Amino acid sequence: MVAQTLEDIARDTAAILLDGDLLGHTTHGLALLAPYLAEVEKGAMARDGEPAIVHCTPATQTWDGNRLPGPWLALRALDAATQTAVYTDAVGQVVEMGKHGTSKTTGTASMSGGGDGQNPQPQTQDDNTTDYESD
């Protein structure tokens, strides 16, 4: 039995199933390989394609997985989440400019950009302000 799938879907799904076994999660590891192959063979699991974005906000996305393998979808979801996290904080607030540091200060140029919360914005120098050095 050969399941014809796109190479990245097959490779990523197999890697996640193997990792599951290696981490001791045998019910979510290679034990799922035969059922996954059977689902692909009967057409119940998609062999190729992409998830569809059903709803999107600056901090969240809702996907229709289009019957693609869950492990492969999970990796794509994590990629999307890390890209979204660049622009939002842990509670979903859009972050345009932030600082972190200790009480040791230096003079630096304060930079900011406009912002629509969707993409990085060009930055311009506002003024010269006191900044905290990173710890």
CB 69 within 8 A of CB 102: no
pLDDT number for residue 123:
56
- 39-51 exposure pattern, b = at least 16 Cβ within 10 A, e = fewer: bbeeeebbbeeeb
Handedness of CA 114, 119, 122, 124 (dihedral sign): positive
Give yes or no for a contact between 107 and 128, defined as CB atoms under 8 angstroms apart. yes
Contact, 37 vs 1, CB < 8 A? yes
Q: Where are the domains of the chain?
A: 7-85
Mean pLDDT of the residues in the chain: 76
Q: Between these two residues, 107 and 73, which has the higher pLDDT value?
A: 73
> Mean pLDDT highest for which of 26-30, 41-45, 99-103?
41-45
> What pLDDT, in 10s, does the model give residues 49-76?
999 999 988 778 899 999 999 999 999 9
User: What pLDDT is stored for residue 127 in this prediction?
Assistant: 53
Place of tokens 């197999």: 14
The residue-averaged pLDDT of 17-28 equals 92
Confidence (pLDDT) at 135: 37
Radius of gyration of the chain (CA): 22
pLDDT digits (tens, 9 = 90+) for 70-92: 999 999 998 887 776 666 667 76
| Whole-structure pTM value | 0.60
